[in-house]
A and B are shown apart, each in its own frame.
Chain A
Amino acid sequence: MPHQVPWLIFLLPLFSFILVSFILRPFFNHRPKLGGYVTIAAIGTACVLSFWVVAEVFGAPGHKLEIPDIQWLLISDFSIHIGLMIDSLTAVMLVVVTVVSLMVQIYSQGYMEGDPGYHRYYAFMSLFTACMLGLVMADNLVFMYLFWEGVGLCSYLLIGFWFHKPSAADAAKKAFIVTRFGDLGFLAAILLLFYTTGTFDIEELHGLAIAGVLAGTTLTWVAIGIFAGAVGKSAQFPLHVWLPDAMEGPTPVSSLIHAATMVAAGVFLVARMYPLFEYSEVALTTVAVIGGFTAIFAASMGLVMTDIKRVLAYSTISQLGYMMLGLGTGGIAIGMFHLFNHAFFKCLLFLGAGSVNHSTGTFDIREMGGLRKVMPWTYATFLIASLSIAGIWPLSGFWSKDEIVVSSFANNPILFYLAMITVFMTAFYMFRVIFLTFGGEYRGGASSEHGSHEPHESSRVMVIPMVVLAVLAVFSGWLNVTGAFGAFMGHGEVCGFAEGFFGILTHPLPLISLLLAGLGILLAYAMYSAKWVSAEAVGRAFRPLYTLLYRKYWFDELYEKVIVVRVLVDGLCAALDFFDARVVDGAVNGVGDGTAAAGNALRRVQTGQLQVYVMAIAVGVVAIAVFCYLFG
């Protein structure tokens, strides 16, 4: 394989961004579809090339390709190289990102039809994909951080795509600022690493951690810092608040953010720097605990949300928690395998939600209902994705979720119970959405800029990507039934199930989790379809709990009223303001005032009297003469 191929994977979406934003948008704005075609062509080619790279990586010794570096910066004798790191982890991410992105772009052709910002949308989407591809291929932390921030920027631009809506603008700011808190930790970790080791190169850092040069407290702090970055990007507790609000963007954007780009970056980062975590017990435990807690914490809020996209958002946070739990208790392969499967079914769920919104004009599941008959394709694919996320055998979610459950059972019993309860909750909230959206009778929908009041199946351009993703959501899990995916990731941990495809059903742990998922579905059926139990009555019976969940544990209020207003505005900002007004401005004004005062005093010398000046000249000449005579 020529070395240019991996570069092209990154450069094609970047070129598409440049082409769409600098040529198509200004000069071909009357042909909006053109931008979409360019982006789809670029990402489609990148997708094909990604599969080529995977094939090459699969055949390469150690599942690793050597790509020559290019020198970027030379600062005295220290040089920063631009290089690509193509190993199995990168290869898997390349496939996930390009496939999901391609499906989303195709779907967007239908979803965004008629939007005045069509070219802008595709330009940002291209850039978003390019940044994520750069992030997964970067071989040093500086480069990675660059794309890390690039991904953050693009998510800001896309969440705030409809910036004329104040809620969208606020959500974009929130996403950007909240993740910034995590990025601070990541940046500190990079600087600490460089201070300690003098290198940014990821492979060298791996080597140093494995050799034990990088160890002890430093390693722990570095790992925690990196994890802080991942917590921000992957919306883990306590920085989870931005993701549900990120729903303000167009639905395909949410789909891309939740499946392949933004939030996957955090999990990927931990996986990429995994050797650093492995040698620090504290860091690894932190990852597992935060992940396990986030999984159940977010799932509990997902139980009561009435906005279909918000339910999905909390489910993403919860699933990301699972991935972190998998990384913390199992290893790269287990966490990444869930990311791989989750990307397809979560993308599909969001595309389904977008399709439903397109037809009913609302995201509120209380206003939907009965869509099973009018939107059979959407219903079928959404159902498959829901079964997959709920972990029903033999869909993909089952295989990766049970890997995580099994590994947490072996390592941390408390987290295992949390994960089990989460399985139940996941099944419940997903099927609550299904029964409310697709079951029963149509409850009217709402009017909006999209679609009419009369529900209808979405156009073919939207349905086809959903079908492709549904196929992937069924089969992607089969890659690791016996551990093939884990062997490819090549980190040595045990994964897969020795029992095989059918034998798994005799394994007790997967059986229990299946049972719990089944119970969740049954409860949802009882409450929202058969109405054996009234949902309102349950809500009333547990009023305080319901309010707690519905108000999202008051985290938004806590952050806004206490942290932002009290700590930041009244505390930190007031102190900084004082410093700025008194010390910085004082110094600047002091220089100005001093100069003015000196000038005021000295200008009296200018008397306007010619003879005074001549006198000064004469005295000066005499003084110089005397000086020369005495010292010359």
Chain B
Amino acid sequence: MSLDHIRNFCIIAHIDHGKSTLADRLLEFTGAIPPREMRAQLMDQMDLERERGITIKAKAVRFFYKAKDGKKYEMNLIDTPGHVDFNYEVSRSLKACEGALLLIDASQGVEAQTLANAYLASDQNLAIIPVINKIDLPSADVERCKKQMEDSLAIDGSEAVLASAKEGIGIEEILEAVVTKVPPPTGVVEEPLKALIFDSMFDIYRGVMIFVRVINGTIKKGTKMKFMVTGKVFEVEEIGVFKPKMEKSDQLSAGEVGYISANIKEVADAKVGDTITDETNPTAEALPGFKDVLPMVFCGLYPVSTDDYAKLKEALSKLKLSDAALSYEPETSLALSFGFRCGFLGLLHMEIVQERLEREYDLNLIATAPSVIYKIKKTNGEEVVIDNPSELPDPTLIDAIFEPYIDAKIIVPADYIGVVMTLCQEKRGIHKNTSFIDTTRAVIAYELPLAEVVMDFFDKLKSATKGYASLDYEPIGYQEGHIVKVDILLNNEPVDALSFMVHRDKAENRGRGIAEKLKEIIPTQMFEVPIQAAIGGKVIARETVRARRKDVLAKCYGGDISRKRKLLDKQKEGKKRMKNIGSVEIPQEAFMAVLKVED
């Protein structure tokens, strides 16, 4: 059977360059959805995604397009996540395609994720169709975009389709370009089944739904499919495509894209990148490129009210069903009592999970400072890996500590090169090179310790460049660093939730910062409260909350007794809401403020 009538493609773009709007317009133009009846930006399902203007989970939509050559094409549009945290998922989505629309905002030009995604797409040998979007905006500068494209991406600017997804300009040209420039899929229906899981999602009614691209063979209801990495076998219960509404179909064959549900309980059983084959007639070799996604950023999540621990546990286990990249395990803190050490793909992922927990599960959470995975070489030659300062072995047993680095590419208007380099320098960055996309915009490449980036790098970068900088990064392995663990002591007792790992050169600064902040927020107590930051036994910063001079010295006669009693009750109630840390009472909110560490 010929696959000439099929086109599998995706849209890749920097955040906010109009990906979702373009997807909507393509569906609308081809009649897959009736205009105006649709929900705006249909492919972003979750509220949260819509609010953030990003797409967390890719989905595939099938629609048909009758091209100018008179033939009808089956178009499979595969949506891709747009953020660095989900790079691996993006790469798997690209694997399911033969072509990509590279969407560039006409007024913004090439941004960090434009570059990153374009590189990913060309690595996969996809046909790239450049589209310059938002050309209707007064600030649009099409020529500049073309020039940037040529200089930084080596893509012929004259091939770019000029469009405005919002205004419906250029939509047909885009569809024609997909038909003519994206090659049809290759694959052999007669071969044993080989399909790629390029995404999955969890539905509370159906369990896990996986999105697949069939490479060879055919999959249908009843097929005993085997996941080659996990080794698990499931019987296909339902098969179909999104058009964009879910529609069952009989089968998916080589070259096609669709969804499968099969009584899979959690997404971790159907790993993105895994290969599906038919257990009864297996393919010899799995598809290359599978990677287990591993969390890179960790933090402790604790319920503000300790009563909510069970609720948090339940919420995490539910989230885990739909989010394979999330990891969690119980953790106990003297200061925060019971919670979980959670692992995330990156900062955005961490933020999304926290927000979903608070919003969808109605939880009020405290998060400890984010941390990364350190590799410790012990003096006895043993190597240990830690994601929590509390796990650090005794310093006398440590030979060396290695910390993860990333390769960061920051695109900024030339005016901001100086401030960005200063910031990266402050963050212990190693400058790799600076190149120019055009005369006004530069790509600054740095190797940065991930630990520095997870603290507050994004915020600092944003404010230093008035929001003009865009950032993309990828992990590049470990380097030795002079890393120490700093403990914060209240009343000479360490507060576990405030311990952190940091480069020795920055230990004083950050330790002092936390001590000062604590001094500000700790209400005066009956006794003086010493606050110390210490590395092992060595105090590197010290503050003191002096003792309270007086509480109320009011009179109390016969008519005042009830009132006085109630006043004390109220004060006591207030104290109950405080965290008792090192026999020091600290208001909950204040303690949370300290956890939000800044340099």
> Do the two chains bind?
no
Q: Which of B's residues lie within 8 Å of A, judged by CB?
A: none
Residues of A within 8 A of B (CB): none
